[in-house]
Amino acid sequence: MTGIKQSKRITAGASALAVWLGAAAVSAPAGAQTTAGDAAAGELVFRQCAACHTVEPDRHRAGPSLYGVFGQQAGAVEGFRYSRAMREADVVWDEETLTAYLADPNGFLPGTSMRIALRNAEDAPDLIAYLRTLGAE
């Protein structure tokens, strides 16, 4: 392996590790309530998502409505056509999974049709706090 290829592989591995460590650092244990994140600030962060997603039940755009997404099985919103990867994913949306997905959608779930990551990973707790307010878990 050449030095350049090896360097790219190490960099890619380090990036994946950083995403995983970041997700672990901001996530709470399963079933735990979290106080991290500001829902009002998260509503402002959601503006980045609003081009493709709504927060209204059963109203979809290029992406599904995110109403009630927290605690929901991935690929489960009725009336939205998901990628095969999302339909077959064994993922429930919680702090850990949303944090990892928002940081690198295709890295978290290869084959997903969402290609845009959250601009600033530090905004994830606020966005997740906001998503928690949208419908029952």
Model confidence at 135, pLDDT cuts 50, 70, 90, reads: confident
| Packing angle of the helix pair 95-103, 124-132 (nearest 10 deg) | 130
45 with 113: CB under 8 angstroms? no
* Alpha carbon distance 2, 8 (integer Å): 10
* Alpha carbon distance 84, 134 (integer Å): 26
Q: What are the tens digits of pLDDT across the range 55-70?
A: 999 999 999 999 999 9
Q: How is the chain split into domains, by residue range?
A: 3-132
Q: What are the tens digits of pLDDT across the range 17-76?
A: 333 334 333 444 344 444 489 999 999 999 999 999 999 999 999 999 999 999 999 999
Give me the CATH code for the 3-132 domain, please.
1.10.760.10
